[in-house]
Chains A and B, each alone.
Chain A
Amino acid sequence: MTPSPTRPDDGVAAETVELTKVYGAGRTEVRAVDRVSIRVARGTFTAIMGQSGSGKSTLMHCMAGLDRITGGRVLLGGQDLGALDDKALTRIRRDRVGFVFQSFNLLPTLTAGQNIVLPLELAGRRVDPDQLAAVVGPLGLGDRLQHRPSELSGGQQQRVAIARALLTRPDVLFADEPTGALDSRTGEQVLGHLRQCVDDLRQTVLMVTHDAHAASWADRVLVMADGRVVDDLDRPSPERLLGALARDVRPGARGGLLQDAEVTA
């Protein structure tokens, strides 16, 4: 669904307020995300970076309506996800969110073309051939639509996933380690495509990665550690990002450079 006209366009595609996610209870309790408040501006490429276990994937899952939150609020295009039941949440994922995962992005039983139009078909919407061509053309998939995922290379599979995510014109395209299973050259191409989406289509992209080089393609990088956002960098170079990461793994680095209030500011 395209953004509805009644929604106030404040330039914010997604927002969290004091978002907390806790797994388990009692002694096994894990605070995966701890009171995180961030805003993702429309038409920007944001990367969330952190070591494994820093809570970056959980934060993304919560923002995308894949996982339930424990505390705080999550808004997607102005819609509070916390208030929705499973059915409505599923509809949000179908209509207003696009996903690109690290691996296992495509259904093996469907062709590339069927995979791309799947969310539209699930919504019972007609597929506009022009729109489809406009999406798959730049991704170089025009002659690959009849192939099954097993007949495609890793990079091609990832581009099919991007095409699928773009076709519904989602509020936010979430990418979870999209280059994790790819060689560096192919990974580079995929990042280029994501960048292109932002620049050419004004698509909001939120990417989770542990790779500083990948994160350097973003407009803005949030660095996470121990469930908190510890750094917020504008167009950082890879070197600067590596430095920020290195600081965060130091003992007692919790809290990092910025406080939560400053991040939201």
Chain B
Amino acid sequence: MISLRLSLAELRQHPGRLGAVVVAVAISVAFMVASVGVVQTEFGAAGDALAREYADSDLVVQAGVEDPDQVGPALAAVPGVDVVEPLWSGGTSLRSGDRGNQASVHPVSEHPRLRPAELGEGRWPTTPQEVVLDAGTAEALEVGVGAQVEMAPADGGDLLPVQVVGVTAPAAGLMSTSYPTVYAVPAWFTAGGSELSAWEWLVLLDPGTDPQTLVAPLETALRALPGAQLEEGAVRTTEAAAAAAVDSLAGDASVLTVMLLVFASIAMLVGALIVANTFAILVVQRRRQIALLRAVGGSTGQLRGGLVLESALIGAAGALTGLAVGVLLTLAVTWWTGSLGSGLRLPLGSALGAVAAGVVVTVLASLAAVGRAASIAPLEALRPVATPAASRRIGIVRAVVCSLLLVAGAVLAGAALGLDPSSTGLPAEVPLLLAIGAGVSLTLGVLGGAPLYVRPLLRLAGQPARLLGPVGRMSVASLVRNPQRAAATCVALMLAVGLTVTLQTGAATTQQTLLGDIRERYPVDVSLADVDADDLDADLVGRLSSVEGVTDALPVAAAQARLTLAGEERYLFAYGVDPERAAAFLPEPLPGLDATTVVVSPGPGVEPGERVTLTLEEYDEQGEVTSSRSGTFTTVLSHGAHGNALISPEAFATLAGAGNTAGLWLRVDPRADIQRVSTDITSLTDGSGGTLVDSGSLREVVGYTTALDTLVLIATALLAAAVLISLIGVGNTLALSVVERTRESALLRALGLQRAQLRTMLLLEALLLAVVGAVVGVLAGCFFGWLGASALMVVLEQEGVQFAVSWPQTLGVLAVALVAAALASVLPGRRASAASPVTALAAE
């Protein structure tokens, strides 16, 4: 195994040269391992949390029977059964001061083995007037142990005061559903005229009884009950029920895992580019050594074997490092979220798969360079030239293939945007698929063609650097001397930056387009109407108006109404608004609103000038109409109606009598933190005790914004790994070229170049590489983001795509690329400038 010995010797001799490969592989493998580990552990913990309601029971029973009250006694009569407790579930609303919340209610058994949660502080309730709140709800209501809150009883009547006697421990884990929960004694569920009924029971057995042996007897007992409907697994051991709860999340977990692995694969792809480039450079540098090996009788087979072995060893070193880092990362993340408490779940198969992937990708990426090494002629060992000039002739084949790819991509993109699925009868996804095809084709064209345009781009970007004198000129010259190498380095960066910016721009464009549409159709930010009352509490109006971010408030008349438009009966709100005062809340003044007209939103089949009957209605608790007053109006179309019907205050007074102020319009400063504004408003309206309905746009806008922002943030964080790897590539290319340029650096030092100037030269080179890679990436990303969002809008039949770039995020990516590239030049710069001119000149 001469090749193995040589490989090992090579690795021992120059460990640093391959450090970048190890780091790049390690990052992608760590990413994969951590993705799987974190998702599995989090979902495992979430499943455990779901199973928590079964507490320490022995069996879980689910059954539908005619009279649920019979289930308890029937089960308890089976020999071996100790305790049977119904697992009630109910809902309620809570209020404390001006804060309110909807919550589900869980029963707290007297039996200590059936406690549904862990208590953080206080004690469990013993009377229906006592409750325990989950930590999140207690925080939202700003109450603690000992506080009084108001809570709707099980029969849905008026809110009654209850005492908070305990708060549960905070929920652990990312996936744990923090739905507001109140824990109450079983008596709460049956109090008053409650019609709640249980469909699930927990069973405790006599000590020493095997739960499995009681499954059949319990099922028999249930079947004997009138109207019994038992599904498969009606009686399960708690262990089985808990496992089922964990499994119920497995689908979500695998979707998330696949998503994360896609990002990890992107990181690995970028890593592969770096590995391929590193090996290509190494083979050039070892040219003479390889030739010498051939000259003394090494066969190409031995040579190839040695190099493949070397890449496999490096890949393995990187992958194992990555495995260790990935496991540590998983531990750290799940410890932070609290999920680690329920155990680390990292399937061995996935971990080993990630390691294998790391090794295989490294070897595959090195093959091109290995092939080139094997073709080095023995005679080259004797040639004195230190570095061969890289081939400047760039294949015509490359130019042709890349042009074809670009043309094909452009055609596909045109088709994606030009196609109208509704008129052609094609499936709605076709434009999106075409856009993806266009994206792939254009990406391959742009990346594959990099050697054709990176050189001129580097020269262009180097123009300002030239102003710095000889140092700047020499950096540009060094970069363009090896266009393939510079191109490969830039391609990795383009890919990573491009993907990140594609996502950011796509999300920003989608957001801008959808929000623009929402704001156009629902121009009123917040439009509240009380369903039950004729006026809003003046105190509430005052508090809502003074919420930070609310710039204007307009009390309006409001009532539930019925209106037939375009042959369709609609239930909506009728607002009596003064058009002049309403104008301040709308982008355009309300046209022609007077005592005889009704303003409605434009829509399919809705015509202006139509005679329509608007009926104001009141309902009782059962939903029966208790009063109904109609009037006839002529329709006027304006988005200002925001999906409702606007009539003049006079017309409203004629129909419903004067003095109605059941509605309130609010205008919100668009620059305010709209999420906080929305939360504040919701908290006030939920806590008001009335039944307030909001038909404004703010909530929806907040929903979209939050969802897309979160998505982009997560995606950017995940792609950061790819960007990081590509920047390691920049540092690596510089480091390897510094090795190559040792004599050159020495000559420069001998001729009077200061150390700092030498470092500046490398800094400029790193920045130029980063600028070209990142700028091409940003431009391509903007285009692809726009293309993807546009195709998506075609699918959603949404017109008027508004191109938007998320500047802070995109410039952030650019800045990170430049700063990191500058940092990447530090070590090579130190290395280059530390060498004494004499030793460097003597070095062959």
Contacts and interface: CB of A to CB of B under 8 A. Distances in A.
B469 A124 contact: yes
A104 B386 contact: yes
B156 interface: no
A101 B841 contact: yes
Contacts of B759: none
Q: Which of B469, B478, B747, B836 has the most CB of A within 10 A?
A: B747
Contact of B750 (A91, A93, A114): A93
Contacts of B836: 66-68
A184 interface: no
A87 B758 CA distance: 12
A109 B474 contact: yes
Nearest to B474: A109
Interface in A68-87: 68, 86-87
Interface string B826-844: 0000000000111001000
A30 interface: no
B477 interface: yes
B349 interface: no
Interface string B450-477: 0000000000000000000111011001
Contacts of A110: 473-474, 477
Nearest to B754: A90
Given A109-B477, A110-B477, A118 B751 contact: yes
A86 B477 CA distance: 26
B474 A107 contact: yes
Contacts of A118: 470, 751
A95 B389 CA distance: 32
Contact of B757 (A68, A86, A122): A122
A90 B747 contact: no
Interface string B806-844: 000000000000000000000000000000111001000
A94 B752 contact: yes
Contacts, number: 69
Contacts of B477: 109-110
Nearest to B481: A109
Contact of B841 (A91, A95, A104, A123): A104
B751 A122 contact: yes
Contacts of A43: none
A150 B752 contact: no
Interface string B745-782: 00111111111010000000000000000000000000
Nearest to B755: A86
B744 A108 contact: yes
B745 to A, nearest CB: 10
Given A101-B841, A150-B389, A107 B750 contact: no
A114 B473 contact: yes
A99 interface: yes
A74 B474 CA distance: 32
Contacts of B521: none
Interface in A138-180: 150, 164
B95 interface: no
A93 B474 CA distance: 19
A150 B748 CA distance: 18
Contact of B751 (A86, A114, A119): A119
B485 interface: no
A262 interface: no
Interface string B546-569: 000000000000000000000000
B99 interface: no
B743 interface: yes
A99 B753 CA distance: 13
Nearest to A117: B470
A197 B14 CA distance: 45
Interface size class of A (residues with CB under 8 A): 20 to 34
A94 B751 contact: yes
Contacts of B753: 90, 94, 122
Nearest to A106: B747
B478 A109 contact: yes
A239 interface: no
A9 interface: no
A91 B478 CA distance: 24
Nearest to B753: A122
Contact of B838 (A66, A90, A121, A123): A66
A237 B386 CA distance: 37
Nearest to A94: B752
A121 B470 contact: yes
Contacts of B473: 110, 114
B747 A105 contact: yes
Contacts of B474: 107, 109-110
A121 to B, nearest CB: 4
A61 interface: yes
B478 A90 contact: no
A32 to B, nearest CB: 11
A45 B618 CA distance: 116
A123 B389 CA distance: 30
A162 B808 CA distance: 54
A93 B751 contact: yes
A90 B754 CA distance: 6
A86 B753 CA distance: 11
A253 B331 CA distance: 74
A210 to B, nearest CB: 16
A107 B386 CA distance: 13
Contacts of A61: 838
Nearest to A121: B470
Given A67-B838, A109-B474, A95 B752 contact: yes
A117 to B, nearest CB: 8
Interface in B352-383: none
B481 A107 contact: no
Nearest to A101: B841
A30 to B, nearest CB: 14
Given A101-B841, A118-B470, A108 B481 contact: yes
Q: Which of B389, B748, B750, B753 has the most CB of A within 10 A?
A: B750
B750 A66 contact: yes
A107 B837 contact: no
Contacts of A105: 747
A105 to B, nearest CB: 7
A91 B752 CA distance: 6
Contacts of A164: 751
Contacts of A86: 755
A136 B474 CA distance: 22
B838 A104 contact: no
Nearest to B743: A104
B680 to A, nearest CB: 62
Nearest to A91: B752
A68 B837 CA distance: 11
A67 B389 CA distance: 31
A93 B743 contact: no
B389 to A, nearest CB: 7
Contacts of A119: 751-752
Contact of A121 (B386, B469, B837): B469
Contacts of A95: 752
Q: Which of A87, A93, A109 has the most CB of B within 10 A?
A: A109
B755 A90 contact: yes
Contacts of B755: 86-87, 90
B436 to A, nearest CB: 43
30 contacts: A66-B750, A66-B837, A66-B838, A67-B836, A87-B754, A87-B755, A90-B753, A90-B755, A91-B752, A93-B750, A94-B751, A94-B752, A104-B744, A105-B747, A107-B747, A107-B748, A109-B477, A109-B478, A109-B481, A114-B470, A118-B751, A119-B752, A121-B469, A122-B469, A122-B751, A122-B752, A122-B753, A122-B757, A123-B752, A164-B751
9 closest A-B pairs by CB: A94-B752, A109-B477, A121-B470, A93-B752, A67-B838, A61-B838, A66-B838, A66-B837, A90-B754
Interface of B: 386, 389, 469-471, 473-474, 477-478, 481, 743-744, 747-755, 757, 836-838, 841
Given A104-B743, A109-B474, 6 more contacts: A61-B838, A66-B750, A67-B837, A87-B754, A90-B755, A164-B751
